[in-house]
Amino acid sequence: MRKPFLAANWKMNKTVAETRAFIDEFIPLVKAANDADIVLAPPFISLHTASGMLKGTNIKLAAQNAFYEDKGAYTGETAPGMITDAGCEYVILGHSERRQYFGETDEILNKKVHAALRHNLKVIFCIGESLEERESGKTFEVLKRELDNGLKDIPCDKLVVAYEPIWAIGTGKTATPEQAQETHKYIREQLASLYSEKAQEIRILYGGSVTPENIDALMACPDVDGGLVGGASMKADSFSKIVNFKRV
């Protein structure tokens, strides 16, 4: 059985002080949830503070991005080794906002995944289709391309895949449990073509307007192993309810 995985992606939100206040409130709310991996991904400026506060807890730390070089003249970028040094165990790569606003291609993301793994970071690798692609019947085509190209020559032992339908991110729209399961099942089949039987061990997260109200139904799907949560992770009470979803 795959261990549930619930990750909070705060994106460009929360100051250091707000991060500190969230963690103070959040830790006691989830201290009994030892049957799940719980991950927080605050902005880069808060990683050091969060790392210190999370030591000795059941909560792990992630960065929201990483560059593919170890050092150099790359103004504004952060190397994987710096992220490891800040106390991160995970890094999110391939988020649709990085693809859309910063031009990150499958090839660039493949280089980033390789670089992260060189520094022993575990990767939350995001894939997903736009509304136009879904409505034109290209969902599976897009997901196959992003998996094949983004994960080329990538081992799977430190890999988590997050399916985030772009049309459901921050819109309040959510894939139905049936839609989520259909797509997650397809993703697992594609992972099997890359990793054979090891695909059954890879956790696949749903990311698209996950809330305390829909998490139980999503987690009841056999191929949904957790959530990559945006808006609903911004408040400790809300995200703790997601972490403490009803186990079936």
DSSP assignments along the chain, one per residue: -PPPEEEEE--S---HHHHHHHHHHHHHHHTT-TTSEEEEE--GGGHHHHHHHHTTSSEEEEES---SSSSSS-TT---HHHHHHTT-SEEEE--HHHHHHH---HHHHHHHHHHHHHTT-EEEEEE---HHHHHTT-HHHHHHHHHHHHTTT--STTEEEEE--GGGSSSS----HHHHHHHHHHHHHHHHHHHGGGGGGSEEEE-SS--TTTHHHHHTSTT--EEEESGGGSSHHHHHHHHT----
Answer whether residue 248 shows pLDDT above 90.
no
How many C-beta atoms lie closer than 10 Å to residue 201's C-beta? 12
pLDDT at 122: 98
CATH code of domain 5-243 = 3.20.20.70
Answer whether residue 70 shows pLDDT above 80.
yes
pTM of the model: 0.96
Q: How confident is the model at residue 131 (pLDDT cuts 50, 70, 90)?
A: confident
pLDDT at 21: 98
Task: Summarize the confidence of residues 63-68 as an average pLDDT.
Answer: 98
Over the stretch 156-209, which tens digit does the pLDDT of each residue have?
999 999 999 887 777 777 788 999 999 999 999 999 999 999 999 999 999 988
How many C-beta atoms lie closer than 10 Å to residue 135's C-beta? 11
* Lowest-confidence pick of 8-17, 50-59, 123-132, 160-169: 160-169
Answer whether residue 116 shows pLDDT above 80.
yes
The single residue of 89, 95, 146, 184 carrying the catalytic annotation is 95
Answer whether residue 71 shows pLDDT above 80.
yes
The single residue of 97, 133, 146, 164 carrying the catalytic annotation is 164
Active site residue 184: no
Q: How confident is the model at residue 1 (pLDDT cuts 50, 70, 90)?
A: confident
- Round to the nearest angstrom and report the end-to-end CA distance of the chain: 13
Residues 6+ apart with CB under 8 A from 113: 93, 123, 125, 150, 151, 154
Residues 6+ apart with CB under 8 A from 155: 117
Amino acid identity at 89: E
Closest to 18 in 3D by CA, of 30, 28, 29, 26? 26
Phi, psi of 146 (to 5 degrees): -65, -35
Active site residue 95: yes
pLDDT at 135: 86
pLDDT at 173: 72
Q: Which residue has the higher pLDDT, 132 or 154?
A: 154
Task: Summarize the confidence of residues 222-236 as an average pLDDT.
Answer: 97
Residue with tokens 């995985």, as numbered in its chain: 5
8 Å CB contact between 193 and 203:
no
